A and B are shown apart, each in its own frame.
Chain A
């Protein structure tokens, strides 16, 4: 897969140590590496060119600072530049002074408008609002039923109305009725889910414009798929020109797409990315954090998300206890080991966790092995430890040949697997003991995380 950008730059800059400053000549190769990384992340070609020019200007003449290697320095400049472009603050929703606040959803087919409408309704509800949903997608089969199911799932109100004919007149009637309904029922937010349309479909784009003039919405949100490639610029630009978008929602961010489209769309529309969709559940809508997606585009992992995930799913007290026990050396029993495995698993599959680690520093090379991880292996380890007696878990040294045989039978594994586990456990104890020593802490502190 992709080699990490920082390590590539590291190499490109290998011969640069000892040279005082970054010059046009000596940054040519690093610039090529950056270009490739951005292109692989689906950032639009033209946007890439623009970015490179900006970064080059900022980089040239800079002294090679003592604490950072030149490679790290260029990555840092670019990191900061990208965050600058994406906007530092998580954007907010604008509310109408006179309710209802109208949110108009726009986008291509299959970008996730209906699901996102449901998630938004849920988000508004959690914020103490009373959203009303309406679908004016009279074109796609069962699209309106879909929003109805979604609305029921998030327990939000929906205006269903009747759509006997699939034409713009019906669409216009539906939104007018829905707004009246919102006022009559005291709903302060109206979310209008629209049919997916191509930006070059003049007829349907005209319909969008007419919806805009009828509703005078506070927000026109462009829903875009994070996996979109080079065309993101074209469609976002056309939508923006015709509708004057007020924000962007990037969906399907729970996949492994690098999301370069975010940069392209932001660049071409100038509008903030307000939310990202990160799953199929209705609470899987998160405010957008530019720093995280920048790390992702540059292949530097998503540590912040990982840490947040850990915070949400891991029992902090237990984790603290385990850490203290482990680092003090002898106290870390097989039972603790099992507990630790369980805590890690709460955060999701190991593969996805490793994917969030940066591929540099202490974690270098781990990504490569992510594919070969056998999640079932953990089940087997749990089964083996589960087949031990309480006493054996606390005193691993008593586990002799006949005990091993029993444990293997009890857990449905083999003696060999039990042996392996015990060997690994012994190694781990040794490692933890070392980590507990002050010398280790000093060594860790000496390693810096490049570009973060």
Chain B
């Protein structure tokens, strides 16, 4: 089920099926890692003792990764204290401690995905602000599930943006998943209703719902998401089983506000961090995990259909600091 997507533990052949997962993950964040490690190396290269200046350099590095001031200060606080008491021996120790802290934050209060009702489809609602890559992510996710032998129905509930439906249809063809749609300007809740009924009567495994991008400050549009949730619940009481907030890795501190507002109106259960193949570091997810306990579920690392990887906090942090 959904859990199996997050790690190889309950699926022995995971490594064979996706041999390059760890490698690709590393590759995706190589640029981040290089720049970050270079700076850390540079900071600790010539000093055995960790002095204040070193920590200041480190602070700037974390800030440039979009961790935000509050999170950065929290992460650094105990390091500072330890450094003051000269309890940190060298750069390696510093790195290990940093890694530990980041990992602890990223895995804190991990929301487990809701357990699926046997027989009914698992409903995944995909939300986010405009232009983060929701439709593309859905295409990739559908492909991933189809490759796993699951039946997937796509629901084109972005009836607002020009050509959003056509875009989803192309992804539907590519991933071999059927698309339920209406015309542009139609009622998104109505399409959702149709899609869920169809999926239920055909006993499909997954329904992935594409929604229109919306800024979290638009009260009316946020209320619409709430309505969609309620619509879904009328047909499948436990739905939506997963609400994925798609966030662009270039997002700055506003990401926190996005996560708060979308969680309020649509009950976000996880984050998909997209466009991680650029130079942006996506560090705001650490801030989000710290404040809201929202886990990252997947990362998007390119424009090809296979460029969606399950997120693994250990791998993420390791790749950052190795």
Interface string of B241-282 (1 = CB under 8 A from A): 000000011111111011000000000000000010111110
Q: Which chain A residues lie closer than 8 Å to B163 at the CB level?
A: 142-143, 145-146, 148-149
Q: Is the C-beta of A351 less than 8 angstroms from some C-beta in chain B?
A: yes
Rounded to whole angstroms, the CA-CA distance of A198 and B253 in the bound complex is: 21
Query: B217–A255 contact, CB under 8 A?
Result: yes
Query: B250–A235 contact, CB under 8 A?
Result: yes
A355 to chain B: closest CB distance in Å? 8
Q: A36-B69, A108-B250, A256-B254 are in contact. Are A231 and B280 (CB under 8 A)?
A: yes
Q: A142-B163, A145-B163, A231-B281 are in contact. Are A258 and B171 (CB under 8 A)?
A: no
Rounded to whole angstroms, the CA-CA distance of A228 and B171 in the bound complex is: 27
Q: Is the C-beta of A150 less than 8 angstroms from some C-beta in chain B?
A: yes
Interface string of A136-166 (1 = CB under 8 A from B): 0001111101111110010000000000000
Q: A225-B250, A227-B254, A229-B284 are in contact. Are A146 and B278 (CB under 8 A)?
A: no
Q: Which chain B residues lie closer than 8 Å to A230 at the CB level?
A: 63-66, 252, 280-281
Q: Is the C-beta of A375 less than 8 angstroms from some C-beta in chain B?
A: yes
Interface string of B215-255 (1 = CB under 8 A from A): 11111000000000000000000000000000011111111
Q: Is the C-beta of A216 less than 8 angstroms from some C-beta in chain B?
A: no
Interface string of B55-66 (1 = CB under 8 A from A): 000001001111
* Chain A, range 338-378, C-beta contacts under 8 Å to B: 349, 351-352, 355, 375
Q: Is the C-beta of B76 less than 8 angstroms from some C-beta in chain A?
A: no
Q: Is the C-beta of B170 less than 8 angstroms from some C-beta in chain A?
A: yes
Query: A255–B129 contact, CB under 8 A?
Result: yes
Query: A42–B254 contact, CB under 8 A?
Result: yes
Rounded to whole angstroms, the CA-CA distance of A41 and B160 in the bound complex is: 30
Rounded to whole angstroms, the CA-CA distance of A26 and B184 in the bound complex is: 60
Q: Is the C-beta of B112 less than 8 angstroms from some C-beta in chain A?
A: no
Rounded to whole angstroms, the CA-CA distance of A83 and B66 in the bound complex is: 25
A354 to chain B: closest CB distance in Å? 12
Rounded to whole angstroms, the CA-CA distance of A103 and B133 in the bound complex is: 25
Rounded to whole angstroms, the CA-CA distance of A5 and B276 in the bound complex is: 33
Q: Is the C-beta of A131 less than 8 angstroms from some C-beta in chain B?
A: no
A200 to chain B: closest CB distance in Å? 6
Query: A146–B162 contact, CB under 8 A?
Result: yes
Q: A110-B133, A255-B129 are in contact. Are A142 and B252 (CB under 8 A)?
A: no
Q: Which chain B residues lie closer than 8 Å to A257 at the CB level?
A: 252, 254, 257
* Chain B, range 24-63, C-beta contacts under 8 Å to A: 31, 60, 63
Q: Is the C-beta of A39 less than 8 angstroms from some C-beta in chain B?
A: yes
A247 to chain B: closest CB distance in Å? 20
Residue from the list B64, B133, B249, B281 in contact with A45, Cβ < 8 A: B64
Q: Which residue of A lies closest to B174 (CB)?
A: A141
Query: B250–A232 contact, CB under 8 A?
Result: yes
Residue from the list A41, A225, A355 in contact with B131, Cβ < 8 A: A225
Q: Is the C-beta of B132 less than 8 angstroms from some C-beta in chain A?
A: yes
Q: A139-B303, A145-B166, A229-B252 are in contact. Are A111 and B63 (CB under 8 A)?
A: no
Rounded to whole angstroms, the CA-CA distance of A349 and B15 in the bound complex is: 52
Query: B68–A146 contact, CB under 8 A?
Result: no
Q: Which chain A residues lie closer than 8 Å to B284 at the CB level?
A: 229
Q: Which chain B residues lie closer than 8 Å to A352 at the CB level?
A: 217
Query: B281–A112 contact, CB under 8 A?
Result: no
Size of the B side of the interface (Cβ < 8 Å), in residues, is: 47
Q: Which chain B residues lie closer than 8 Å to A153 at the CB level?
A: 162
Q: Is the C-beta of A290 less than 8 angstroms from some C-beta in chain B?
A: no
Query: B166–A141 contact, CB under 8 A?
Result: yes
Rounded to whole angstroms, the CA-CA distance of A280 and B158 in the bound complex is: 14
Main secondary structure of the interface of B (DSSP, over half): loop
Q: Which chain B residues lie closer than 8 Å to A199 at the CB level?
A: 278-279
Interface string of A160-185 (1 = CB under 8 A from B): 00000000000000000000000000
Q: Is the C-beta of A44 less than 8 angstroms from some C-beta in chain B?
A: yes
A35 to chain B: closest CB distance in Å? 9
* Chain A, range 224-244, C-beta contacts under 8 Å to B: 225, 227-232, 234-235
Query: A349–B252 contact, CB under 8 A?
Result: no
Q: Which residue of B lies closest to A38 (CB)?
A: B69
Q: Is the C-beta of A254 less than 8 angstroms from some C-beta in chain B?
A: yes
Interface string of A33-63 (1 = CB under 8 A from B): 0001001111011100000000000000000
Query: B254–A200 contact, CB under 8 A?
Result: no
Q: Is the C-beta of A285 less than 8 angstroms from some C-beta in chain B?
A: no
Query: A200–B278 contact, CB under 8 A?
Result: yes
Query: A109–B133 contact, CB under 8 A?
Result: yes
Rounded to whole angstroms, the CA-CA distance of A140 and B171 in the bound complex is: 10
Q: Which chain A residues lie closer than 8 Å to B219 at the CB level?
A: 349, 351, 375
Q: Which residue of B lies closest to A35 (CB)?
A: B69
Q: A42-B254, A200-B278, A235-B278 are in contact. Are A227 and B129 (CB under 8 A)?
A: yes
Query: B216–A255 contact, CB under 8 A?
Result: yes
* Chain A, range 209-225, C-beta contacts under 8 Å to B: 225
- Not counting A109-B275, A234-B280, A256-B217, a sample of 14 additional A-B residue pairs whose C-beta atoms are within 8 angstroms of each other reads A109-B131, A109-B303, A141-B171, A143-B167, A148-B162, A148-B163, A198-B277, A227-B251, A227-B255, A229-B66, A230-B64, A252-B131, A351-B219, A355-B217
10 smallest A-B Cβ distances: which pairs?
A229-B252, A110-B131, A149-B162, A42-B252, A141-B170, A146-B163, A231-B280, A142-B167, A142-B166, A257-B254
**Which residues of B are in contact with A by a Cβ distance under 8 Å?**
31, 60, 63-66, 68-69, 129-133, 160-164, 166-167, 169-171, 184, 215-219, 248-255, 257-258, 275, 277-281, 284, 303
Q: Can you sample 16 A-B contacts with CB below 8 Å?
A: A42-B254, A109-B133, A110-B132, A141-B170, A142-B166, A143-B163, A143-B167, A153-B162, A198-B278, A228-B251, A228-B252, A229-B250, A231-B280, A234-B280, A235-B250, A254-B218
**Which residues of A are in contact with B by a Cβ distance under 8 Å?**
36, 39-42, 44-46, 108-112, 114, 139-143, 145-150, 153, 198-200, 225, 227-232, 234-235, 252, 254-258, 260-261, 280, 349, 351-352, 355, 375
